[in-house]
Amino acid sequence: MHRPTQIVCVFLLLFLTTTLSFSQSKKQLELEERRQELRNEIKQINELLFKDKSKKKSQTTLIEDLNYKVSVRKNLIMVTNQQANLLTREINDNQNKITELRDELEVLKENYAKMIVTSYKSKSEQSRVMFLLSSTNFKQAYKRIQYLNQYANYQKEQGVAIKTKTTELQETNKALLKQKADKQKLIEENRIAQRELETELAQQQQLMAAINKNLNNYTAQIREKQREADKIDREIEKIIREAIAASNKKAGKSTATSTSFALTPEAKALAKDFVSNKGKLLWPVEKGVVKVRYGKQPHPVVKTVTIQSNGVRIATEKNADVRAIFNGEVMRIITSKNGNPTVLIQHGNYITAYSNMAKIYVKKGDKVSTKEVIGQVFTNPSNGETILNFSIFKETKTVNPAEWIYRM
């Protein structure tokens, strides 16, 4: 193989090794970030759903909370396993790297030793001055000076290379020891998580056995709750349609066929800001876990029943403040005989809905700013549950809040 080809191969190998190492480290950071998120979520679940044991929860609520906790715990175990497996690969890579570095260091030391011996012999046979004086002409003497300088520089480079390679070997050894310690820590944490999961699964089975005895009653309760949720959603859609018609009438446009808001320049700018913050909007409560997510899905307890969630159900702490997720104007406060109030806030052609409120601090027409407290979440006195139902509408159509709220 020609020398240029060898150099290209060496550089290519170095590039691939560095790229692989970088991608593994990046993946490890991503997994660690996700693992910490899941650990924090379990902590919040314990604080918000399992802390107050004095309140008697219904069996469906208990199993719902436990199912949620089990699913998060399973995800935590899975992510931790992925981390441990990735660390195993990184440990193997570093062990191979250490072997290669030791071999390279050995070759460097051997070459350096030979160079020193050769240099010593040449000095004993003939001095530098005599070597130069024996030149036949000035040009040859000049070339010999260059050669001697190059040889001396090469010796220095070899010495630096040995020092660099030794340092690299030491750092790789340190990294290897840390990786082994990290892996052992992950394994221990996963053992604890696995034991906790087994306990939760046993509780889950007991509760499900009791629920299956009265499955028809629970199914009827779930469908009744779905009807109540659908009724609120229809009421919100009706209010939004009326607001769309009013905005078009005010702008001198047809109200019969209008499905979109006739926005003022100010409202257009607000809508644009709202959209530009997609994925970065703050949570409507300071602390919370999403018990029911957006969309059509099997009920978390009775899997044979399908539910349609046009928003998210967020479990939070007692007396939790509800915050406007973005600048806007209070469109309407909805009150109903059987349910708790809902606050609608308009952000251009987007509307956010905050349902199951206990206290409301705003009124129709109020301008609100991001993070402004608009009320408090209702806490059910019979079971201690504090649930905020939260939705986002674009015109009359719902959108998935998880795509808009930061890390929901």
Consecutive 10-residue averages of pLDDT for the chain (408 residues)? 47 49 75 94 91 71 90 95 89 77 73 65 53 65 65 64 73 80 91 94 90 88 90 93 93 82 95 98 96 93 91 95 98 88 97 97 97 96 90 97 96
pLDDT of residue 122: 55
Tokens of 257: 């066929």
Q: Residue 41: what pLDDT?
A: 93
DSSP letters along 271-327, please?
Answer: HHHHHHTTTTBPPSSSS-EEEE-SEEEE-SS-TTSEEEESSEEEE--TTPEEE-SSS
State the pLDDT at residue 106: 77
Beginning with the edge strand found earlier in the chain, give each strand of the sheet holding 357-360 in spatial order. Answer: 321-323, 373-377, 357-360
Q: 3-213, what's its fold?
A: Helix Hairpins (1.10.287)
Q: Helix (H, G, I), strand (E, B), or coil: what is residue 338?
A: coil
Could you state, in order of their start, the residue ranges of all structural domains in the chain? 3-213, 230-403
Owner of token pair 């005989």: 337
pLDDT value, residue 8: 46
For residues 401 and 391, what is the distance between their CA atoms, to the nearest angstrom?
7
3-state SS, residue 342:
strand
Q: For the domain bounded by 230-403, which CATH number is listed?
A: 2.70.70.10
Q: Residue 127 carries which DSSP code?
A: -
